[in-house]
Chain A
Amino acid sequence: MTILRFYQRPSSLSIAFSSRHERSFSGSSELVTLTTRRNQCWRFSPLKSSNGSPLAGASWKDDGKEMPVPKVPDIGSQLAENTVSITVVGASGDLAKKKIFPALFALYYEGYLPQHFTVFGYARSKLTDEELRHTISTTLTCRVDKRENCSDKMEQFLRRCFYHSGQYGSEVDFCELDNKLKEKEDGKLANRLFYLSIPPNIFVDVVRGASRSASSPNGWTRFIVEKPFGRDSESSSELTRCLKMYLIEEQIFRIDHYLGKELVENLSVLRFANLVFEPLWSRNYIRNVQLIFSEDFGTEGRGGYFDHYGIIRDIMQNHLLQILALFAMETPVSLDGEDIRNEKVKVLRSMRVLKLDDVVVGQYKGHTKGGKSFPAYTDDPTVPKGSLTPTFAAASLFIDNARWDGVPFLMKAGKALHRRGAEIRVQFRHVPGNLYKRKFGTDLDKATNELVIRVQPNEAIYLKINNKVPGLSMRLDSSNLNLLYSERYPREIPDAYERLLLDAIEGERRLFIRSDELDAAWAIFSPLLRELEEKKVVPELYPYGSRGPVGAHYLAAKYNVRWGDLSDSS
């Protein structure tokens, strides 16, 4: 059996192996850099091969055809060059322009893309290749820390970018795309990645068209989809069911770009590579966990999509819940994608279904500050006047398992607040029998340790500790053990999309959401969402640019929690 044949089996296994192969045998220098640089840890790990050991119900191959899978590839034979074609469906959209093309360029710039690759834009508008290149070129930037050859690199990158105009529901148009792709792929082993940067109502059309007419004949074909994944349990599982008519689980890459953030990635490292944290990671020591997301701007005239979903679906049910699952999961068997996702699903399934009593919803109203007036949510022309859609929500969640029983996990997400940021706060219990208790006043809970993981902006980790104020008296002070990323790591931190695109290309599924995870996540939120809508629960209004509705404090107080981000010394 030749290596070529091996590559023809477009399974995730082949990717894992192929990376290793290329590292050791391929003449392609770029790929060598790619695999060694990126995969210091992952690829050398035999754990990785568990990607190839299928879990129950998962298919071996992306295309579903039966083919024998060699456990050990024939390392002596020659490798066919492979190529990856990335098709951005919805190329004229905002996300594509602002995030996807720049991320692809950054990967190219840093040498993470295979030597041969093709980028296609696909959308309904009539554009030439040149026009697409022009649009893209305005948003590409080079890393601040390595500006060399920037314009050369850009030019080379743009030369690999092409455009194909077609209808999203037309198989014929995708056939034409397939022809063009084949032309570019030039007989190489073709792997194809479709990035669906389109509204959810046409997801299935595109998947059908692309999978039937433009799947790779000899490599893998993968689809990246972005939220929203439905509006509730039913619509989500309907979407999943439809996707699975054309794709198998392993072809679907549901992106949650929060999982690609540097400090979310680091969360598992912190927990599992440091002895000092793991013993503390349970109800014995942790009093509560807070997951906080805030934006300092509103919908700003683009509330049409948002109004249909609201902050709970837009931020909480996905981003914050995913972080929570990563935070709270048991130690996985390995770092392999399936093992981590198995643990995350367990957390989600152990969670109590959210009740209306444990949620506060808010909506921002107009506010005038310093002569400047900021519009209310319903002032947005794209939002219905009587909209009850929450732009703010706080919720307390509970994980009913042995590790977390009784520990409130508070989430808070809002638009048009006084600051912008995303952080995880872990408040520890107070010291039992504290010798220094007289120093802390009456409320010992105000002087507990707190671990803060600031996801954005200004990535940082800090641990608040109690410390003696230097000097002759014995006064205590809460100070921070600090790790400020910008000080320690002057290199620019890559955008989440870069990581996720690269992972999708490499078949690393750790940061993507599996169907059962998605189901479990919706199960927690759907009853609440339905109740909010059925009962037409009116959100508490809060001024644009404020700290959000005070209701959030009462919710926290109910569980004896104090929001860490709104205290004086945050």
Chain B
Amino acid sequence: MAVSFPKCPSSSLPPLQTRNRAWSSPLSAPHQVGDSSKWALLEATKRCHLSVSSATNGGSAVAPVEPSKKVQDSGTKTTPTDHSTKVENGIRPTVFSSNEFQDLKTGPDNSGRESTVSITVVGASGDLAKKKIFPALFALYYEGFLPKHFTIFGYARSKMTDAELREMVSRTLNCRIDQRENCDAKMEEFLKRCFYHSGQYDSEAHFVELDKKLKQHEGSRISNRLYYLSIPPNIFLDVVKCTSLAASSENGWTRVIVEKPFGRDAESSAALTRGLKQYLHEDQIFRIDHYLGKELVENLSVLRFSNLVFEPLWSRQYIRNVQIIFSEDFGTEGRGGYFDSYGIIRDIMQNHLLQIVALFAMETPTSLEAEDIRNEKVKVLRSMKTLEIDDVVIGQYKSHTRGGVVYPGYTDDKTVPNDSLTPTFAAAALFINNARWDGVPFLMKAGKALHTKRAEIRVQFRHVPGNLYKKCFGTDLDRATNELVIRVQPDEAIYLKINNKIPGLGMRLDRSNLNLHYAARYSKEIPCAYERLLLDAIEGERRLFIRSDELDAAWALFTPLLKELEEKHIAPELYPYGSRGPVGAHYLAAKYNVRWGDLGAEH
């Protein structure tokens, strides 16, 4: 029976904290937040119990397509994948098999073998790896979230020595602003665990070499392996094939993190999934959507399900519309090659924004366990109305001169074809045809080269029926409704707009905010989404990763529209670089009696 971390960290070890630690302890009352050192220790101990997992499969809805020989080869004697989901969701298994009990006992006293995790970043010389993945790994290490023994490998085609990789990685590492102690020392230790292996992405032989090197570092420990595929999608399958055939862990788990794009439409996505499943079980595939790792997206479920004051409001009865808004204040800036073949709808809407909608709108899950949450998300996606072209507005930015500075148009980008019709902006109205949300427009808006950088969720409530203060609001009651804003970035915040009397004699009303500004309340730096997701992948927590059926359902909503846009060569509405986007978005909103919350006089 394999265990994800059979070795219990003793007090001298960096505390191995699970995100679910508060669950495991009766001491988890919120007021105990401050005492972190005691916590870490306590939790490290708890973790021993929890790391032993239930033998039952975490409930993966999709059985391996082919429980083939290959899988068994790569998985070796133990089931490589199935063991950790339940426990790491914080749900203590109610029934332990005798074997599990064995593990429970042996784990803490260290009689089992130590485990290690080897993280291989495939495509290590790429931008994402340098800017996000290595720094996130370092941050996890720095904060004591990685197991005691770990190895990091960079894998790419370029010839590089370990030292060169370290040099490259070191340039992007930095320490948390709030705990700068020992930063250099920590960095050095971290870099010592980083190695490089050069190889072709489709060469099994090269991966065999990697496997040897990994084994050397892993020693006799139980080895768990995580592959981060930071590579173009066309070579996903090659790499997956090689890793699973030649470099899977023999006695621990092997997991693969893949990043978008997951295909271009329903068919190509299904083909990719089919391909991956030739070599991997569902539970080995970790499809990352880094928006799900954002602090406030994580907090969305907490807000909904642990506050009585929100849940009663969470339906068509009180919510008039929901807006999910993403904007960037820069364009493709000479790197539009990849973007041009996907466009904003595939790049942002079909994944990030749709995932947020699903989380926002899902029914209460049976538990916080990953499979339960993903089951609910799939239900939302499958209840949604397929997007039609009438409910979409697309745009593309054009050049704009302001204050003597010329901002280029999208097609001015050298990596973009001159006649490209790829949308850099899109707004869409979606509907969820279920009992809770029937008739409530979910408006999405995503764009590049807009006037601000922002991601937020806006919930506009209905107006007060029979409002006594109607005369104070002018004619349009909808303009004075409550609004809940969850600002995902930048400047994380939650605020609820309420109507309030302006202090003073007389009765004038005003919309003011009940505010929770994260920077003011929480001085700690908010971790980058990649940290959370990497940690989750290491811990086997699948809540924030996208399951195959979720992906299928998501594509099913967008594919007909995407096809139609391409087949009919629909020309996007042009909007100036740095503007508020095409006005078409307003008309789309007006069609459903909505007013964009981010473009009003007050935000």
Contacts and interface: CB of A to CB of B under 8 A. Distances in A.
A273 B23 contact: no
A270 B496 CA distance: 13
Contact of B496 (A268, A463, A569): A463
B504 to A, nearest CB: 6
A488 B503 CA distance: 10
Interface in B205-235: none
Contact of B464 (A38, A272, A436, A461): A272
Given A441-B26, A447-B30, A269 B503 contact: no
A462 B509 CA distance: 18
B31 to A, nearest CB: 6
B28 A466 contact: no
Contact of A470 (B143, B295, B308): B295
Contact of A431 (B31, B306, B492, B521): B306
Interface string A431-468: 10111101111100011110100000001011101111
A262 B503 contact: yes
Given A465-B516, A470-B295, A475-B28, A331 B468 contact: yes
Interface stretch (B1-9, B151-159, B324-332, B526-534): B526-534
Given A37-B506, A40-B472, A481-B515, A276 B498 contact: yes
B368 A41 contact: no
Contacts of B31: 568-569
Contacts of B501: 262, 265-266, 269
B149 interface: no
A445 B235 CA distance: 54
Interface string A483-503: 101001101011000110010
A278 B19 contact: no
A273 B524 contact: no
B37 interface: no
Nearest to B495: A481
Contacts of B504: 491, 493-494
A137 B334 CA distance: 73
Given A435-B368, A448-B308, A465-B307, A275 B481 contact: yes
A438 B306 contact: no
A358 interface: no
Contact of B305 (A45, A434, A438, A447): A434
B364 interface: yes
Contacts of B515: 481-483
Given A435-B364, A467-B303, A489-B502, A442 B494 contact: no
B130 to A, nearest CB: 22
A430 B28 contact: no
Give the interface size bracket for A toward B: 35 or more
A47 B367 CA distance: 51
Nearest to A340: B468
A554 interface: no
Contacts of A469: 33, 522
A167 B589 CA distance: 72
Interface string A13-53: 00000000000000000000000011111101101000000
Given A449-B308, A478-B30, A471 B524 contact: yes
B505 interface: yes
Contact of A270 (B461, B467, B500): B500
B147 interface: no
A488 B498 CA distance: 13
Nearest to B468: A272
A498 B506 CA distance: 11
Nearest to A466: B306
B77 interface: no
B463 A466 contact: no
A436 B306 contact: yes
Interface in B306-343: 306-313, 318
**Residue with the highest number of chain A CB atoms closer than 10 Å, among B22, B143, B313, B367:** B22
B514 A467 contact: no
A431 B17 contact: no
Interface string B15-31: 00111111110111111
A476 B472 contact: no
B519 to A, nearest CB: 10
A272 B470 CA distance: 10
A268 B531 CA distance: 46
Contacts of B29: 440-441, 446-447
A265 to B, nearest CB: 6
Contacts of B462: 275
A421 interface: no
A461 B464 CA distance: 20
B299 interface: yes
Contacts of A475: 21-22, 28, 30, 33
B28 A441 contact: yes
A274 B498 contact: yes
A110 interface: yes
11 contacts: A44-B471, A269-B499, A269-B501, A334-B468, A436-B305, A436-B368, A449-B308, A449-B309, A470-B527, A474-B22, A485-B503
Given A47-B471, A275-B482, A435-B301, 18 more contacts: A40-B507, A269-B501, A273-B472, A273-B480, A274-B498, A436-B368, A439-B28, A465-B494, A467-B302, A473-B21, A474-B90, A475-B33, A476-B30, A481-B495, A481-B514, A483-B500, A483-B514, A502-B505
Interface of A: 37-42, 44-45, 47, 107, 110, 112, 262, 265-266, 268-270, 272-280, 285, 331-332, 334-335, 428-431, 433-436, 438-442, 446-449, 451, 459, 461-463, 465-483, 485, 488-489, 491, 493-494, 498-499, 502, 568-569
In the A-B complex, the 3 residue pairs with the smallest Cβ-Cβ separation, listed nearest first, are A481-B514, A438-B23, A41-B507
